[in-house]
Structure 1
Amino acid sequence: MKESWRWYGPLDRISLGEIAQTGASGIVTALHEIPYGEVWPRQAIAERKAAIAAAGFDWVVVESLPIHERIKRGEGDLTDLFANYRQSMANLAAEGIHTICYNFMPLLDWTRTDLAAPVGRGGTCLRFSAPKMAALELFLVGRDQARDDYPSEVVAAAERWFQASSDDDRGLLMRSVMAGLPGAYERYDATGLKAALKLYDGMDRAALRGHYKRFLDEIMPAAEDLGMRFCVHPDDPPRDILGLPRIVSDADDIGWILNAADSPANGLTLCAGSLGANPKNDVPAIARRFAGKIRFAHLRNVRKEADGSFEEAAHLDGDTDMVDLVAALLQEEARRREAGEDDWDIPFRPDHGHELLDDAARNTHPGYPLVGRLRGLAELRGVIAGLSYAGRHQAGQAQGSDAGIGVVVA
């Protein structure tokens, strides 16, 4: 597996020189400064790639080439937007960059209500509080229909939180929810968010799927011609919020997407944290079911609560069996190698991370601290090394060899 690191380019407070010290060899990034819907110029791509190469890295995944909201809404004449998207793809391919992670979440990207929730032994983490999200929907945005979207006990807790909250608390909640839009220029206050939601009036799951199918029809043929690999990122959180449908939340959704465009270019970003926040998802089982379509992996963990809340756990803690998940990815890599596939090496990155030690002083993008992700990468590196050793040892035993005798990682 190819160790990678998300870097926000000139916007990032962590330098490529510091990332080099983590041991990662791949960079995952995008041209975040370019507004959605505009063409990524080849020259700008080449300059970013050159800066990455000069620091000793490969640009292994684009995360992401954003999809304009009008495409998600199916609004108006989309000819120019699709043409711009395909041109950006062609410019990336011309510079030797062929893997694109993207999402199809309407309006908001990943969503959290708390960006600095305390962790038991020190540090902070990202958290999604169902009562706080319900409070935002009901009392800040004024979406009364949200009463039907949450259990009654969550609505009651939302009312209690709102009554006890100050204007500063409410402003912080809104800013936290908006923080998951790293490349967008728009940040909404409550009035702006309510207005933006009106553009999605009447949008249901079937309609959003229809718009997604059109995107795949427009983009996948070009992706095939360019030798590109697209990998959709699951919804985060994997549930409807603000009355907006989410359609990449479980195994059934993933199956629909991969069947909607039967193309080698149509693949999956296996995000353990996003999928893991859905109580019905068995993440290692999903990885094994769709193994042949996984082009990129986000490895992180979450700890769920009965009311629908969850928070980021340490990478080897939480509800997902990370060792089993990594084993599934290594098994798929072995299959690809044996089959002679060129792209057998699955890039992964330690996704999110606790703010530890002096991370808070850096004021990095929420969820993307240096020390916390370095801890996660080190833990994952150990799991990969242990499983790889165990595999070699077992293979040696099967061949009657005494090579590799030692401690076997179960």
Structure 2
Amino acid sequence: MFSNLEQTFRWYGPSDPVTLAAIRQTGATGIVTALHHIPSGEVWTIDEIEKRKNVILSAGLKWSVVESVNIHESIKTAGTEREKYAEKYIASLKNLSQAGIKTVCYNFMPVLDWTRTDIDYRLPNGASALRFYAPALAAFDLYILEREDAYKEFTIQQKQDAKLYFDSLGTEEKNRLTSNVMAGLPGTKDVLTIDQFKGHLENYNDVDAARLKENLAWFLQAIIPEAEKLGVKMCIHPDDPPFPIFGLPRIISTENDLLDVVNAAPSPSNGLTFCTGSLGARADNNLPRMIERLGKHIHFLHLRNVQREADGSFYEADHLGGSTDMCAVMKNIILEQKKRMDSGRDDIAIPMRPDHGHKLLDDFNYNTFPGYSAIGRLKGLAELRGLEMGIKNTLYQ
């Protein structure tokens, strides 16, 4: 039997209510984290990296994956300073490599790196989940943000549903919706104001999907050759949600998008974070087939499930429930591991983390980052671990 997937857990650093000691009890051996206190675009120094690495090592764990070294907005918009920020990004990769941390997750989403309208959606069993409710997003865009182009982008039915939803909200509910939507800044609990968000949107007035793809290709061609020299594996995260919102383009949402990424700078260092939740929010994404075709480029796995709804809404389901056949996904991941073993690759134990857990039981007593409860993710990890073992025993014993 070949290596199991490397079981990892995301940790938001020393301020995270989910401690390293608690994570160790889940059975995970690897930590996925970032230096969130360093502003986007600034260099991660070797001292800061080693300090965080030693905290993790002292807890009996390993810093397996960086999530994320965030990309400065000037790179995404092709600003005048993008070359400077690309050089700083490479400097951070060099320091991470020197510290022995060589898998780096990142994304290329404009402004927000995830969006939900409800961060406390109650399921029938009382658990709390994250939810993206399409009429709520449209209501925010049309009647709170009051973005001018929004009226052209929604259908008549979507606008009617949005108005009906908006009229049902009280002042407190409108404020909560605003806070939820504006809370998607990378690696932080900070919430943008409406005026700040409008300012960010203006920066993308001249950036459509084609231009954003060009800017991503420029970034990849600038950093991937250096990453390859360092032995660093870059793995882009899909858009969340995987469709345009607020007039912002989304360019990492489909199989063709992922192919565009790996073809923009062909290299073993230019790979993918395969997130079954983000990609699974689109009904036209066949996830098992995507793994068959793109498996060799996958450097990191986010395994979660969403229940899709007909109007484009979705909520975070149980890891083995929801709209994605997680058994078929896991089977094809295992088949990819077998291919790697047979071809002599040394990256068979692909890092995997249970993404976005429900709040369960004692989780309600802690103010964790949305989706990053302790017990909910422990449940997800246990289910995924059992699924992996069951499939491997069926296939290879």
Note whether the superposition's TM-score is higher than 0.5: yes
> 1:231–1:294: 8 Å Cα contact kept in structure 2?
yes
What is the CA distance between 1:217 and its match in structure 2? Answer: 1.1
- The reply on whether 1:360 has 2:364 as its aligned counterpart is yes
CA RMSD of aligned residues (A): 1.2
Report the Cα distance in structure 1 between the residues aligned to 2:386 and 2:315, rounded to whole angstroms: 24
Report the Cα distance in structure 2 between the residues aligned to 1:346 and 1:153, rounded to whole angstroms: 44
What per-residue deviation string (whole Å, max 9, x for no partner) do you get for residues 26-74 of structure 1? 1110101110011001011011111111111111110000001111111
> 1:35–1:185: 8 Å Cα contact kept in structure 2?
no
> 1:123–1:355: 8 Å Cα contact kept in structure 2?
yes
* Number of the residue aligned with 1:277: 281
What per-residue deviation string (whole Å, max 9, x for no partner) do you get for residues 165-213 of structure 1? 2222121111111222243586312222112211111211111111111
1:230 alignment partner AA: M
* Number of the residue aligned with 1:330: 334
* Number of the residue aligned with 1:131: 135
- The reply on whether 1:299 has 2:299 as its aligned counterpart is no
* Number of the residue aligned with 1:32: 36
Report the Cα distance in structure 1 between the residues aligned to 2:287 and 2:208, rounded to whole angstroms: 26
* Number of the residue aligned with 2:347: 343
Secondary structure at 1:295 match in 2:
strand
> 2:243–2:250: 8 Å Cα contact kept in structure 1?
yes
Tell me the TM-score normalized by structure 2: 0.97
Q: Which of the residues 226, 229, 233 maps onto 1:225?
A: 229
1:196 alignment partner AA: H
> 1:208–1:245: 8 Å Cα contact kept in structure 2?
yes
- The reply on whether 1:242 has 2:246 as its aligned counterpart is yes
* Number of the residue aligned with 1:157: 161
* Number of the residue aligned with 1:215: 219
What is the CA distance between 1:361 and its match in structure 2? Answer: 1.4
- The reply on whether 1:50 has 2:54 as its aligned counterpart is yes
> 1:36–1:184: 8 Å Cα contact kept in structure 2?
no
What per-residue deviation string (whole Å, max 9, x for no partner) do you get for residues 109-147 of structure 1? 111000000111111100001111111111111113223
Report the Cα distance in structure 2 between the residues aligned to 1:159 and 1:189, rounded to whole angstroms: 22
Secondary structure at 1:290 match in 2:
helix
Q: Which of the residues 3, 12, 16 maps onto 2:7?
A: 3
Report the Cα distance in structure 2 between the residues aligned to 1:68 and 1:196, rounded to whole angstroms: 13
1:269 alignment partner AA: T
Unaligned runs of 5+ in 1: 394-410
What is the CA distance between 1:279 and its match in structure 2? Answer: 1.4
Report the Cα distance in structure 1 between the residues aligned to 2:220 and 2:207, rounded to whole angstroms: 19
Report the Cα distance in structure 1 between the residues aligned to 2:184 and 2:303, rounded to whole angstroms: 18
Secondary structure at 1:104 match in 2:
coil
Report the Cα distance in structure 1 between the residues aligned to 2:290 and 2:12, rounded to whole angstroms: 29
Tell me the TM-score normalized by structure 1: 0.94
What per-residue deviation string (whole Å, max 9, x for no partner) do you get for residues 314-355 of structure 1? 000001000110111111111111222111211100000111
> 1:60–1:99: 8 Å Cα contact kept in structure 2?
yes
Report the Cα distance in structure 2 between the residues aligned to 1:161 and 1:322, rounded to whole angstroms: 33
Report the Cα distance in structure 2 between the residues aligned to 1:268 and 1:103, rounded to whole angstroms: 10
Report the Cα distance in structure 2 between the residues aligned to 1:191 and 1:168, rounded to whole angstroms: 19
Count, aligned residues: 393
What is the CA distance between 1:153 and its match in structure 2? Answer: 2.0
- The reply on whether 1:75 has 2:79 as its aligned counterpart is yes
1:181-196 mapped onto 2 (5 Å cutoff): 181-183=185-187, 187-196=191-200
What is the CA distance between 1:83 and its match in structure 2? Answer: 1.2
Secondary structure at 2:357 match in 1:
coil
Report the Cα distance in structure 1 between the residues aligned to 2:321 and 2:80, rounded to whole angstroms: 46
2:230 alignment partner AA: L
Structure 1 residues 296 and 104: CA distance shift in structure 2, 3 A: same
1:255-270 mapped onto 2 (5 Å cutoff): 255-270=259-274
1:106 alignment partner AA: P
